[in-house]
């Protein structure tokens, strides 16, 4: 069992990229990290590396598109702790950049299953553990591409990136964040985007073939900031690395 002082965090999609870096940084604060990975082997390998650096980490098989996997992950976490202080819904799928004229409902469904229904599955399953914490926080890893303020700005490249799945899934995630926050005032729900929107920068990861200008450490600054807010911290906000971002 986790000692009563130690902060606990579950991160989905933490076997690589921003999820893994969040695990490394929050583990470095002495937190107990539940490292979610849809592939058990990749999760174990990532956890072993963190553990070798002194992180208190438990790999957890967790495919956010599967109710069974999420339920099993909850049972694993519950064996180690009676409460979850922080949930980071980080797992994400980029989808294909298909022109809206060609996009099908099936294509959108696959992306929504990870980016929209995934965070709902995980949040719903872990609510009892979150509600058992003194000041629980949920960080939704969204995207500037899901912000109307960004997509409608002609100077932003995403304005001319013609696709439906990813941007609309992250817009839905933003609204989910607000609706959860309104309905559950005992939990802080905040959405973030890892980049610096005004400078049009994002973090280099597999998702963007490492074309990002920021390191994963820079990309996780806002994740760590929102994961570590105190009891008087914000809820129902949307921020990038620099600060608040218009929805």
Ligand X SMILES: NC(=O)c1ccc[n+]([C@@H]2O[C@H](COP(=O)([O-])OP(=O)(O)OC[C@H]3O[C@@H](n4cnc5c(N)ncnc54)[C@H](OP(=O)(O)O)[C@@H]3O)[C@@H](O)[C@H]2O)c1
Q: What residues line the site for ligand X (CB under 6 A)? A: 12-13, 15-19, 38-39, 42, 62-65, 90-93, 114, 141, 143, 193-195, 202-203, 205-208, 212, 219
Task: Considering the complex, state which of residue 5 and residue 155 has its C-beta at the smaller distance from ligand X.
Answer: 155
- Closest separation in Å from C-beta 5 to ligand X: 29
As measured in angstroms, the least distance from the Cβ of 204 to ligand X is: 7
Q: What is the rounded CA–CA span in Å between residue 145 and residue 107?
A: 18
Give the three-class secondary structure for 150. helix
Minimum CB–partner distance for residue 185 and ligand X (Å):
25
166 as an active site residue: the answer is: yes
112 is known as an active-site residue: no
Query: How many CA atoms lie within 13 Å of 161's alpha carbon, on the beta-carbon side?
Result: 19
Encoding tokens for residue 170? 């992250």
Q: Which of 49, 112, 162, 170 is catalytic?
A: 170
Q: Of 2 and 95, which CB lies nearer to ligand X in the complex structure? A: 95
- Cβ proximity to ligand X: between 2 and 19 the closer is 19
CA-to-CA distance for 145 and 159, rounded, in angstroms? 9
- Which residue bears the tokens 């339920």? 71
What is the four-CA torsion angle of 113, 245, 87, 203, rounded to 10 degrees?
80
* Catalytic (active-site) positions: 166, 170
């Amino acid at each position: 069992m986790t000692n009563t002082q130690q902060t606990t965090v579950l991160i989905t999609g933490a076997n690589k990229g921003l999820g893994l870096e969040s695990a490394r940084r929050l583990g470095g604060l002495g937190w107990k990290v539940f490292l979610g990975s849809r592939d058990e082997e990749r999760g174990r390998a990532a956890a072993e590396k963190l553990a070798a650096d002194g992180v208190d980490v438990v790999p957890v098989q967790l495919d956010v598109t599967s109710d069974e996997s999420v339920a099993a992950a909850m049972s694993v976490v519950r064996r180690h702790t009676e409460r979850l202080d922080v949930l980071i819904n980080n797992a994400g799928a980029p989808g294909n950049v298909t022109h809206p004229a060609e996009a099908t409902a099936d294509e959108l469904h696959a992306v929504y299953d990870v980016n929209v229904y995934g965070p709902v599955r995980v949040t719903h399953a872990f609510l009892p553990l979150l509600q058992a914490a003194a000041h629980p926080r949920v960080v939704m890893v969204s995207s500037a591409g899901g912000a109307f303020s960004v997509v409608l700005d002609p100077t932003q490249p995403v304005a001319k990136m013609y696709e439906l799945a990813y941007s609309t899934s992250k817009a839905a995630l933003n609204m989910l964040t607000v609706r959860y926050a309104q309905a559950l005032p005992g939990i802080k729900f905040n959405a973030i985007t890892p980049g610096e929107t005004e400078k049009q920068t994002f973090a280099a990861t597999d998702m963007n073939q490492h074309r990002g200008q920021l390191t994963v450490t820079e990309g996780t600054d806002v994740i760590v900031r929102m994961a570590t807010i105190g009891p008087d911290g914000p809820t129902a906000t949307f921020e990038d690395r620099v600060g608040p971002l218009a929805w």
